[in-house]
Amino acid sequence: MNFPENLRYTKTHEWIAVQGAKAKVGVTEYAQKEISDVVFVELPKAGQAVQQAKMAAVVESVKAAFDIYAPVSGKITDANKALEANPGLINQSPYADGWIFELEISNPAEVNTLMTAAQYHEAVQQAPKH
């Protein structure tokens, strides 16, 4: 499985790509596999405040709904409208076209609490299989 080096990861399987004061957020390849076919994404609204480890979006499959947590605190600046017509982008391209939302980081120190690609890789290996 692919876990790009330049990203940071949460233990709840979100990735974050920091670009200066802003960051893009999505779910990892591991997550999209667990979720299976995404049928709908409930995107956050621009201007919405989010907190680290609190729910920011919801991804639905046929069988279940999965809460997507903000990796860091901040304010939503954009959401990936392409997911409205094509939620499957999350499965096809979880790190690029399947990004979910973008936010303005309020507390940059929080980024350092997140896992590196190597740490995330390790955590996923150890996750119980079912």
Partner 1 sequence: MPYLSLTEEEKKAMLGSVGVRSFDELISDIPVSLRDPKIDLPSSLSEPEVQALISKLGRKNTSTKDALSFLGAGSYEHFIPAAAIEIVGRQEFLTAYTPYQPEASQGTLQAIYEYQSLMTELTGLDVSNASHYDGATSLAEAALVALKTTDCAKILVARSLHPHYRETIRTYLAGTPYKVEDLGFDAHGNFNLEELVKKLDASVAGVIFQTPNFFGNIENLEGVSERIHANGSLMILTGDPLSFGLFKSPGEWGADIAAGEGQSLGLSMSFGGPYLGYFVTSQALMRRIPGRLAGLTQDADGKRAFCLTLQAREQHIRRERAGSNICSNQALCALAACAYMTLLGKKGIREIAEINWDRASYLKSQISSLKNFEVDPTPTIFNEFRVKSKKPFARIEEKLMAQGIFPGVSLESFYPELKDQFLVCATETKSKEDLDRFVEALAQC
Partner 2 sequence: MLISQDDRLSFEKSKPGRRAVRLPKARFSGADPLKDIPKGLLRQTLIGFPEMSEPDIVRHFINLSRKNFSVDTHFYPLGSCTMKYNPKVNEWAARQEKFTALHPLQTEATAQGMLQILWELEEGLKEISGMDRFTLQPAAGAHGELTGMMLVRAYHASRGGPTRTKVLVPDSSHGTNPASAALFGYHVVEIKSNAQGGVDLEDLKQHLDEHVACLMLTNPNTLGLFEKNILEITKLVHQCGGLLYYDGANLNPLLGIARPGDMGFDIIHINLHKTFSTPHGGGGPGSGPVGVKKHLIPFLPGPLVEQTKKGYGWASQSAKSIGRVKLFHGNVGVMIRAFAYLKTLGKEGLRKVSEAAILNANYMKEMLKDTFKVATSGPCMHEFVLSLKSFSTQGVHAGDVGKRLLDYGFHAPTVHFPMVVPEALMIEPTETEARETLDLFIAAMKEIALEIATDPEKVKNAPYTLPVRRPNDVLAARKPILSYRDQLREKLLAAEIAA
Binding positions for partner 2, rule: CB under 8 A: 37, 39-40, 60-62, 87-88, 130
Shortest Å distance, C-beta 102 to partner 1: 22
Among 21, 64, 82, 118, binds partner 1 (CB under 8 A): 64
Closer residue to partner 2 (CB): 12 or 61: 61
Residue type, 4: P
Quick check: 85 binds partner 1 (CB under 8 A)?
A: no
Quick check: 81 binds partner 1 (CB under 8 A)?
A: no
Q: Are strands 55-61 and 38-42 parallel, antiparallel or unpaired?
A: antiparallel
Q: Are strands 65-69 and 101-105 parallel, antiparallel or unpaired?
A: unpaired
**Cα–Cα distance for residue pair 16/24, rounded to 1 Å:** 6
**Cα–Cα distance for residue pair 116/124, rounded to 1 Å:** 12
Which residues of this protein are in contact with partner 1, per CB under 8 A?
A: 39-40, 42, 58, 60-65, 67
